[in-house]
Amino acid sequence: MRPGDEMRLAAVALACAVSLLGCGPPRAAGSCDGPCPASKIDHLVIVVQENHTFDNYFGQWCTAPPGSNPTCSSGPACCEAGPATDPSGASATLLDDTANGAYSPDHDQSCELDEQDGGKMDKYVTSTVCGDARNFAYVDPQLIKPYRDYAQAGALADRYFQPLVGASASNDMYLARARFVFKDNAFVPDAIGSACSFIPTKMEFSDPTIGDLLVAHGNTWAWYGEGYQTMKDAQAMGACPEPPDDCPAALGIYPCVYDPSDVPFQYYTALRDNPIYMRDFTAFDKDLKDGKLPQVAFIKAIGYRSEHPSLHTTISAGVSFVTSVVSAVQASAYAPDTLVLLLYDEGGGYFDHVTPPKPSPIDGQPLGTRIPAIAIGPFAKKGFISHVELEHSSVVKFIEWNWLGIKTGQLGNRDLVVNNLGSLLDPAATGTPVPEM
């Protein structure tokens, strides 16, 4: 039994006793679901939502003056507020459910590079390529109150950048490979659902991913995709799924049905549609209750619950999805040894006032805007603001450090040079300090 296990087990037993969800079979003290990690974090749940910047969601929660670069780390006073006007003098628009569902900023790489204007961040409204007043927007605070509550109770990163300027699929790849693979949404994997994707060109790769490294080491992992089983069933019949009744866009493609381009591991031949690793989201709750949660679990909502702007997608539907995942983890027997990370694939073309870092020395690719990143659960520092520069490759680095023998950089990509997640984590809770660098 590891130090503190008795207290944590007693706490989760009490939580289970009062939970209406139930926690499933009790977990043995000190047990690991694969080779044991370097820290007390035996499970990592990564929820990947879509297309909002840090300013978009937290610019009016943080209260430090824009550009002040605060060095304190306790709460909203220690992260920079978004500016009242953008550099052109434009005032922010209000981002509510209606506005989110009505408009998606252009977020292709060529557009975003023009808007960033060499780091001046001054052409989101005025760019002749793709500027629009709606690109400078702050969310209705009531819509994301649960996220701000998570930040208040856990750790918020205010220097977490999208790893690549451009659209979703290209940024998702960094969660699997920690390096540049392709630009924007250039390809769809040759996998289940590709026939129902809005992306026409199929592609597959054979390079090793963090998933391959976990498998080789004997650790467990899986990607839980909402709508995956429905897509499998429809494709088996040679069809695309009918849109769910609650999808406001009522389309037979994204955002109403599963799209494999949202799953970076589906691009890789050795992992594609392998039922050990590719699971429907409904299996997540079952795995929690049956004691079968893998050590690393990625969670992806179906498009209309991902918060992705346009096509009548609402932020509130995404918040409801995320809070249901967090609540399920916290009500389960896994609560004491699980870290939840809430991340966004990229900023979606919305304004953010902080200049991104220089291009990575590994792949030479430009980083994009800041995106929200929150550490949730017993291992997160409480009410903490991390100012350490992070991106999706930092998650890969943490997985390597925690489960693969503390040797980072095993993929030989940005995991060699990015910072680790230690700035978000409480060393008293993790049992051993997780490196920040």
Asked if pLDDT for residue 61 goes beyond 90, the answer is yes
Task: Give Cβ neighbours of residue 98 (< 8 Å, ≥ 6 apart).
Answer: none
Mean pLDDT of 215-221: 97
Asked if pLDDT for residue 14 goes beyond 80, the answer is no
Which pLDDT value is given to residue 164? Answer: 98
The span from the CA of 173 to the CA of 267, in Å, is: 9
Q: What is the pLDDT of residues 16-42, one digit of tens each?
A: 333 333 444 444 545 788 899 999 999
Q: List the domains of the chain with CATH numbers.
A: 38-430 (3.40.720.10)
* Entry pTM: 0.93
The span from the CA of 265 to the CA of 268, in Å, is: 6
Asked if pLDDT for residue 8 goes beyond 50, the answer is no
C-beta separation of 147 from 373 below 8 A: no
The span from the CA of 70 to the CA of 323, in Å, is: 30
Which pLDDT value is given to residue 28? Answer: 53
Which pLDDT value is given to residue 158? Answer: 98
Task: Give Cβ neighbours of residue 336 (< 8 Å, ≥ 6 apart).
Answer: 5, 8, 9, 11, 12, 378
C-beta separation of 341 from 373 below 8 A: yes
Query: Where does the pLDDT of residue 11 fall: very low under 50, low under 70, confident under 90, or very high at 90 and above?
Result: very low
The span from the CA of 29 to the CA of 431, in Å, is: 15
